[in-house]
Copies of this chain bind each other. A is one copy, B any other.
């Protein structure tokens, strides 16, 4: 029951789009905004608003790089890694306890 309560308290990762973004970034550490958008099939506006929430809570940081053209990179922070790890671990405990 404690893990369910922990999951319920995670307002940042409790949103399925933000959870999807963090799961995408987790093994990669960083990705261009446009890659995340295409991979997860999101509109730029929708992705942008969720990235802003994640950035505000310290889960990711963003920065610009200029190669042939400017692009926005999204990078998971150490804090974001740790919070995502904890959230997934709670989810795993809960899921493993259920026969479905």
Which positions 14-46 of chain A face chain B at CB distance < 8 Å? 14-17, 19-20, 23-24, 26-27, 39-41
Determine the main DSSP class of A at the interface with B.
Answer: helix
Known: A14-B15, A14-B16. A26 touches B98 (CB 8 A): yes
13 contacts between A and B (CB under 8 A): A1-B40, A4-B20, A4-B23, A5-B40, A5-B41, A8-B16, A11-B16, A14-B14, A14-B17, A23-B94, A85-B100, A88-B100, A92-B95
Tell me which of A16, A23, A92, A98 has the highest count of chain B C-beta atoms within 10 A of its own C-beta: A16
Determine the interface band of chain A, counting residues with CB < 8 A from chain B: 20 to 34
Question: Once the chains bind, are B100 and A95 in contact (CB under 8 Å)?
Answer: no
Determine how close the nearest CB of chain B comes to the CB of A48; give it in whole angstroms.
16
Find chain B residues with CB under 8 A from A89 CB: 100
A72 CB within 8 Å of chain B = no
Find chain B residues with CB under 8 A from A88 CB: 95, 98, 100
